Amino acid sequence: MKNSKNQVNRRNALKTLSLGSTAGILGFFGSSDTRASTPKSHAPTPSYTIGVQVKITKVRAIITAPYGTNLVIVKVETDQGGLYGLGCATFTQRAHTVVSAIEEYLDPFCKGKNVSNIEDIWQTAYQSSYWRNGPVLNNALSGLDQALWDIKGKMAGMPVYDLLGGKVRFAIDTYTHASGKSISEVIDNVAKYKEEGFRNIRIQLGGYGSTHLATDPDWKRAGFGSQGDQTIDPQAYKRGTVEMFKKVREKFGDDIELLHDMHERLQPMDAIDMIKKVEEYRPFFIEDPFSPENMGWFNMLREHTSVPIAMGELLNNPHEWLEPMKNRQYDYIRIHISQIGGITPAMKVARLGEWFNVRTAWHGPGDTSPVGHAANAHIDYAIWNFGVQEAARVIRTPEDKVLEVFPGMPTVTNGYMSVNEKPGLGIDINEKLAKKYPPVVYNYNWTQLRGEDGTPIRP
């Protein structure tokens, strides 16, 4: 009896010591002047810092369009007052379907789960639908995953990049978009962005595929298709792009890096031909030369040119990038973090790339929300094989209303993206203001592209 009592006393003492050590460690991480908002003596200690499990009480979607693009934000609420996380689940083309997946399926699935078990929640949610790897379900899962990492950072009193291993770089090198309907207009925009400090600039002659170079198509005269559909003239696009690279390189020399997005607009042999022709102008990379249906052409492309290739924004199944990365078929993995399911799988992709010298260039367009850009940035800080980060206008030069809806969003200065040092992802959402910008009707013309005879052209 006496021995049993002594054992209980020893266990209690060890438990007290353990809790004290945990509190001390958490106090250490929270004591930095850049992270502590109030003196330690005045801030109540949250119960989750002393070993209490934090449970999910609600997973819900917030849909808003402060700059005319439908953004879907996931908010994960907990049983600890004021503790919540945000994630990006934006799939503009199917925004309302993603909202349904979040609120009708992920919410009841996640209620009562321990927010700390991110990997377990990801794995079980991923297979909960049995059929998986589709963009709708992956986007919903991505929003949940990012929100859980946001919560974990807040619980630890650390930015998410610290949880991922800490910074490997002081800031995140980005590229921006310089386009124009004429080459002279492209050159003017390149000069402007170079003056702003950007070292990497994507150049596009008009929209994807230079559709403005195709005039009076036969299918329109025949009354086929829809009025807003666009047309591509593959040879005009190829000629215009090669000439654009030539003129821009002549104007700026090798002082800047030039990128270009083909957006899967050409047939494989035309794509290979164009990439070979721009090789002498030393592109930093050419993005998405082939559609996902044409991945088998990469071996031929590699045999014919040394131009670096970036690929992947349409990929959402791990098997779509596993073999190509292993076989070094491209140089930059350019997947969309919401397409693949969030920070958890993105870190695995980055680590995979490290073994095969494939660098990251996460997709960061305007239809990634500011929350999604923050998630990109935290990963970018922490991974060794980072390449470059796309920085859309919403991050480069955000409007005041966007800053008000998303306080704490990343910033870009001198071409470098930075995040604040707040715990978690460092970004919030003003739900009251978000309601002022309801979802808009999606314009499908952006994806509707036809050949001269009216044949639909993928992506």
Residue pLDDT, tens place only, 29-46: 333 333 434 444 455 666
The band of 445, judged by pLDDT with boundaries at 50, 70 and 90, is confident
Cα separations (Å) of 458 from 61, 228, 362?
A: 30, 16, 22
Give the pLDDT score at 413: 96
203-240 burial by CB neighbour count: b if 16+ within 10 A, else e?
bbbbbbbbbbbbeebebbeeeebeeebbbbbbebbbbb
The residue among 17 and 191 whose pLDDT is bigger is 191
- Residues taking part in catalysis: 208, 263
59-100: pLDDT as tens digits: 999 999 999 999 999 999 999 999 999 999 999 999 999 999
Give the pLDDT score at 6: 44
- Range 158-183 average pLDDT: 97
The CA distance from 382 to 329, in Å, is: 24
The CA distance from 325 to 329, in Å, is: 6
- Judged by DSSP in three states, 450 sits in strand
In the predicted structure, residue 17 carries a pLDDT above the cut 80: no
The CA distance from 19 to 25, in Å, is: 10
Give the pLDDT score at 179: 96
- Judged by DSSP in three states, 85 sits in strand
First to last CA, the chain: 75
In the predicted structure, residue 22 carries a pLDDT above the cut 70: no
448: which residues sit within 8 A by CB, 6+ positions away? 225, 226, 228, 229, 230, 456
- The tokens for 218 are 């036969």
329: which residues sit within 8 A by CB, 6+ positions away? 298, 299, 302, 309, 311
The CA distance from 9 to 194, in Å, is: 68
The CA distance from 135 to 73, in Å, is: 15
| The amino acid at 318 | P
45: which residues sit within 8 A by CB, 6+ positions away? 23
377-433: pLDDT as tens digits: 999 999 999 999 999 999 999 999 999 999 999 999 999 999 999 999 999 999 999
Give the pLDDT score at 308: 98
- Range 105-112 average pLDDT: 98
Give the pLDDT score at 7: 43
- Judged by DSSP in three states, 76 sits in strand
Within 62-116, residue ranges assigned H as helices are 95-101, 107-110
- The mean pLDDT of the chain is 90
Torsion (CA) 180, 184, 188, 189 in degrees, nearest 10: 20
Taking Cα atoms as reference points, which of 188, 355, 364, 203 lies closest to residue 285?
Answer: 203
Give the pLDDT score at 51: 66
The CA distance from 442 to 400, in Å, is: 23
In the predicted structure, residue 358 carries a pLDDT above the cut 90: yes
CA angle 296, 204, 439 (to 5 degrees): 90
The CA distance from 365 to 379, in Å, is: 17
